[in-house]
Amino acid sequence: MSETTPNPAPAAETSVGVHAHSHTQDALNQLKDLKVYAHSPIIYWWPIWALGMLFGFISMFLPDTVGTADGAGPVSTAALVQGQTFVFVLVFVIFSTTVKLRGANSVILGLILAIGVILLFMANMFGPIASYIAGLEIYMSPSFYWFVGITVFVMWAVMVFGFDKVKFYEIAPGQVRERVYWGSGDRAESGANARCRYLKDDFLRHRMLGGNLLGDIEITLADGEVWYLHNVLFAKTRADRINELIVTRPVD
């Protein structure tokens, strides 16, 4: 009577198959198209609506500053600090989103400010100027803060989550596309000899207001045409991914 020995389970083959499937899946994931959205400069206005709502809430608990028949009543120190802070932040945001300081220009501005502060110290004028600014009676009512905060937030949200997404860029292996949700503005260009560059040297916008999360992307096509993608979220990571995709050639 002959005995039959059972064949061992193909554990090694199963393991190899799992690893092969895993590598194949990773390769497919790397070939997925990438969508990149450029944003309007209003994306940097988040401090205005944030401070507006915050100060509006705090102002409701501060002493009443409504004037009397003989003139304005006393204003609390907290209300003055809020008013000065809001105005200075507003001026800073307007300046930062209007004037682009890249590279050497940002360094020059920093040097000018540093030299100006040193000269004011040497002339014993820094203290009087600081006292004058601190003594400015700038204050707003809770209604003002709420109105500005809510209004700016609505505009900010409509642009960032609405109109900024109407036009976007789609990066596929070996191809770059400019897409729009409506209209006939779609374009497709070859990624051959194209290159992508990450721009982050605007200190005020990208690093201070953008928290080093926002930046600009520059895509140069083979014919020399340049596509500028401004105020892109996670710009550095997306620029690296774009460079990986445009050099990839899909295999039929």
What is residue 67's predicted lDDT score, i.e. its pLDDT? Answer: 47
Q: Which domain holds residue 78?
A: 44-144
Q: What's the sign of the alpha-carbon dihedral 112, 117, 121, 123? A: positive
For 44, other C-beta atoms within 10 Å of its C-beta total 21
For residue 169, being part of any structural domain is answered with no
All residue ranges of the chain with pLDDT < 50 are 1-2, 9, 11-14, 16-18, 20-21, 23-25, 27-28, 66-70
Predicted structure pTM score = 0.75
Is residue 189 in a domain?
no
Length of the chain: 252
Q: Do residues 201 and 189 make contact, with C-beta atoms less than 8 angstroms apart?
A: no
Helix (H, G, I), strand (E, B) or coil at 234: coil
User: Do the domain assignments include residue 108?
Assistant: yes
Residue 125 lies in a domain: yes
Residue 178 host element (H or E): strand 175-180
> Residue 251: its pLDDT value, please?
56
pLDDT in tens, 86-132: 999 999 999 888 887 766 676 777 778 788 888 877 888 777 877 88
Number of compact structural domains in the chain = 1
Token pair for 92:
């800073």
Residue 131 is predicted with a pLDDT of 81
Contacts (Cβ under 8 Å, ≥6 apart) of 183 = none
